[in-house]
Amino acid sequence: MTSSEQPTTLRERKKLRTRQELIDTAVTLFGERGFDGTPLDALLEQVEVSRRTFFRNFRSKEDVALTAVKQLWATYLEVLDGMEKSGPLADVFLAAMLTTLERMDEGWYRRFPLTLRLIAGSPALDGYTLRHCAEVQAEIARRFDERNRLELRLLIEFFTAAWRCALDEWLPDCTPGELPALLRRVYSTMNSALALEA
């Protein structure tokens, strides 16, 4: 959030603090106790907020647990919308993600690896993440709808697969500065991967 986006009233600042505390506590608590084994009431008790307050900020326990993932893709779509789109579309997708990673703050880089580990340990979160990923892919495709649908869908699948491979390489160390370089490396091997022979 930039300084121009900072809430101006005391009430808005308090709401933002409560939301952030829910996000931070959820990732920590779910990481310690397991996502599936931690009831929502345990989070509410820890942060000392009501169900009503929670549901003003989030739709579900999955929603708060995946905040870092949703922040990443929301920012990615914003970056993609604001970019000049020329040259190979694969390069546009890569440049948009590299710009997105530059915009992520320290808090996000702290929460994101914890979130990835939560997803890996919870079938419920994994399923929720897959649905969200499909929604994001549909949004990307919608932005380039005039192009060949099959080729575009394949390219988006390659892009998201490359992103997942970069994340696999990034874990477990999760050094923030390494993720862009890993993504570039994965992208650079895509053509040779497609040319592999049996």
pLDDT for the residue numbered 173: 84
* pLDDT above 60 (res 4): no
Q: What's the pLDDT tens digit per position in 136-172?
A: 999 999 988 766 588 898 999 999 999 999 999 998 8
| Contacts of 152 by beta carbon, 8 Å cutoff, 6+ apart | 89, 141, 144
* pLDDT above 60 (res 115): yes
Q: What's the pLDDT tens digit per position in 22-67?
A: 999 999 999 999 998 999 999 999 999 999 999 999 999 999 999 9
